[in-house]
Structure 1
Amino acid sequence: MIFDNFMKIVLAIGVDIHRFKINLRLAISRRIKIN
């Protein structure tokens, strides 16, 4: 039970980091296009 919950938390954090990286790339590409 504890291990399953731990894995869910780790996966959730991993997904958040992945989304953050995608948003960061989109923001950088937009700034380059504007400039």
Structure 2
Amino acid sequence: ESAMGAPVRDKGLGRPTKRDRRDLEREFGSREEDD
């Protein structure tokens, strides 16, 4: 339902897109690198 390119995390779907993941890694210091 979310348009491509739109921040999924803002919709609260709990499933960030690859694009958002890069943003999250940048904002959170890429602490999810342990995945």
Q: TM-score, normalised by structure 2?
A: 0.35
Kindly indicate whether structure 1 or structure 2 has the higher relative contact order, using CA contacts under 8 Å at least 6 residues apart.
2
* Larger radius of gyration between Structure 1 and Structure 2: 1
If each structure's helix is expressed as a fraction of its own residues, which one has the higher value?
1
